[in-house]
A and B are shown apart, each in its own frame.
Chain A
Amino acid sequence: MSSLARPAPVDLADLPTFAAAFERWLASRPTSLNEAASPLPTTDARMDAMRRLMGDLSDEGWGRWGWPETSGGLGGTILHRAVMWEGLARHGVSSMAAFEHLEVLGPTLLAMGPPEFCAEVFPGFLDGSATWAQGFSEPDAGSDLASIRTRAVLDGDAYRITGRKIWTSWARFARWSLVLARTGTVESRHRGITAFIVDLRSPGVEVRSIAQANGHDELAEVSFDDVLVPADRLIGAIDGGWAVAMHILSSERGTFAWFRQCFLLHHLQAILQRGAPEADGLLGDAVLDLVSVGALSIDALRVHEHGAILGPRAAFTKLVLCAAEQGLFDWALASDPDVVLDPFDQQGLDLRAAYLFSRIVTVYGGSQQMQLDTVAKQILQLPA
């Protein structure tokens, strides 16, 4: 027997072992991590840097933990993903960019999507070569999602989709989009909606970026003009799109808060030295809300880990996340008016963009009013 003992196999399925091993990788400061952690001037530059980082994370295996082996993953649970993104944020990565859709759409795709197709395309989502977008909102269907008008009509062995989606984050960079389209009558409301998988390179798809008030342009308007989609590219059943949407929103409003709060803590840490004593009250309040988001989203992660659905309780997490994000940037602005007057370097510009973005967090992914309606109706069970 050799005197050189073989290293004991490392059990990365064990969460603390995974966390410690990933921490060592982060501490080695790979080039793609350094790039993604540096201030970047444009949405495109951020997306490029994040693609390279996700490629490395996938190659090294870190980015495949927490996803099933049947779809390019290495097993483990959502807690592996929670640990990975927490580490990335702590080491300076400022956002998930398009990869937020991994956490918003990924669990639903794998639970309700066609298994063979998902097995084929999901690895491209994980390594960043073929990301996804979420086609929900339309010009006349925002909070009232059940009134979408984009139509899908069966024609032989394919559907023809025509309509317009708006506020579709990261669509400009995406290969695939989940698209909610009407397969029933307009009167069928939420019962006549189906979730399709659309290749955004198909003829008839046009993606137009939207210049946002914070200087970024990850939002887009996506139009579909008689776009052919194979009839088996469905998530869930025909006319079963509402259940798909609810499944997605449970992630978007529940577990997603964990991933977002990691980046809020990153911002807090980055700007702590700019904090003015006069603004301490705002900082303290923001901390109370940030810790609340942490605790509520851990509950959400645990529910998800056990294969359950959070349901209306996701509204708690979403609402407290909004309060935390707005409170954090209220403090940043109160501490330093140069956030709006004179952000003299790229870090300052990033902070200004983040401040401005925080003003709209109570709108996207289900407005604050809708979340409060959910709590009133489904949790307090107030009569309507």
Chain B
Amino acid sequence: MTIVADADDLFLSTAQDALRSTDGDDALSALGWRDLLESLEEDAEARLGVLAFFRAQGRELGSSGALGELMAHPYAKLLGNEPAMRASIEGQSARRGSRAVLVGTPTRSGVLIDRPGHGVALVPLDRLELRPLGLSDGLALHEIETDLTDIPPSLSEAEAAPLRAQSVQLGRLALAHEILGAAESALAGAVQHARDRTQFGQPIAHFQAVRHLLASARVDAAAVAAVGHHSAEQYPALPPLRDAVLKALAGRNGRRICERSLQVLGAMGFTTEHEHHRFHSRVLVLDALLGTSSTLTHQIAVTLRASAGTVPELHQSVEALQSP
């Protein structure tokens, strides 16, 4: 019976164990994650498992190609189930414009690049030219610099467009879960520090100012977990905007959790000796993919105001009330 947001605890802890003992891509195999991925549309439990892996990956700062494989999933039927990863297309940088970003080490047959207006190109592994991006959080993250002009499209724009939206939805769900996991670990570190660190003759956890910082962070995590869990349950019948809401919420709350945790840790949390910066970096890097929290938050408002006074996007349906 899934009555609370973290009922998928068992898969989560199993995935964390796997990520602690082996490399991220091996963990995917050991957990049977790709089998779960095959049942994504039909089976809510499988979906919760697929997404719980990302939360575990955030908690353990693992690195795998799971995001790319999940985002490639909607294309699999049209592409003949050729195992692949999908790069995310990022258009945020004013300086650089649009770019293709690959999360994880490329391990499958190739990388799908699906650019709006161009359709899908499948870049074989031997043609990938990669430039590392990101912060020091242990995540393999690259910009794909391959010249695509002589690679014929595998899917036309008309074929790709509906799949692209699904792919982005899945990507945002996954990133939100991973941000949650990383933020949870940052918070756990700060909670432990508050118990251990003594000032004025007592653990700083005794001070209400410190307790309230940590409690606020815990509330922020609970909100992301609840919306994440319900979104995973409801997929693929998500209410409009829900993927944007979840990703924006995770980014905003995730950053807030890390900032409050850092405040409790004090200056030590700003050093490379302490692990806090790695969780914080993971949150920042993932917030920057598939729409930052500030961009998405703004888009949500603009879309709602354009909806002329009806907000079916926000009303919870009767179906959402009932346990699946």
Partner-B contacts on A (CB < 8 A): 15-16, 19, 79, 82-83, 86, 90, 265, 268-269, 272-273, 275, 277, 280-281, 283-285, 287-292, 294-296, 298-299, 301-303, 306, 308, 313, 315-316, 319-320, 369, 372-373, 375-377, 379-380, 382-384
Q: Are A269 and B311 in contact (CB under 8 A)?
A: yes
CA distance A315 to B222 in the complex (A): 10
B211 near A382: Cβ-Cβ < 8 Å = yes
Inter-subunit contact A298/B315 (CB<8 Å) = no
B164 nearest CB across to chain A (Å): 23
A-facing residues in B207-230 (Cβ within 8 Å) = 208, 211-212, 214-216, 218-219, 222-224, 226-227, 229-230
Which stretch, B1-9, B72-80, B81-89, B104-112, touches the partner chain A? Answer: B1-9
Task: Return chain B residues, CB-CB under 8 Å to A380.
Answer: 191, 211, 214-215, 218
Contact A287 B218 (CB under 8 A): no
Which residues between 260 and 303 of chain B lie within 8 Å of chain A, taking CB atoms? 294, 296-302
Residues of chain A contacted by B305 (CB below 8 angstroms): 272-273, 275, 277, 280, 283
When the two chains form the complex, which single residue of A284, A377, A379, A383 contacts B297, counting CB atoms closer than 8 Å? A284
A residues near B170, Cβ cutoff 8 Å:
none
Is A285 in contact with B230, judged by CB distance below 8 angstroms?
no
Determine whether the beta carbon of B301 is less than 8 Å from that of A283.
yes
Nearest opposing residue in chain B for A318, CB measure = B219
* Stretch in B35-43, B122-130, B134-142, B245-253 touching the partner: B245-253
A residues in contact with B304, CB < 8 Å? 272, 275, 283, 287
Q: In the complex the two chains form, is B297's CB within 8 Å of A285's CB?
A: yes
In the bound complex, CA of A265 to CA of B307 (Å): 14
Is the CB of B197 closer than 8 A to any CB of chain A? no
Segment of B25-33, B45-53, B57-65, B316-324 in the binding face:
B316-324
Collect the chain B residues with CB atoms within 8 Å of residue A273's CB.
Answer: 305, 308-309
- Which of B214, B223, B299, B318 contacts A16 (CB under 8 A)? B318
User: Complex formed: what's the CA distance from A303 to B299 in Å?
Assistant: 34
Q: How far is the CA of A265 from the CA of B218 in the complex (A)?
A: 25
In the complex with contacts A265-B315, A294-B316, A316-B223, A308-B215 CB distance below 8 A: no
Give the docked Cα–Cα distance between A82 and B242 (Å): 21
Listed residue (B194, B249, B307, B316) with the most chain A CB atoms within 10 angstroms of its CB = B316
Query: Beyond A291-B245, A315-B219: 11 further Cβ-contacts under 8 Å?
Result: A15-B318, A268-B314, A269-B310, A283-B300, A284-B298, A287-B304, A291-B242, A295-B5, A298-B226, A319-B219, A376-B211
CA distance A265 to B309 in the complex (A): 11
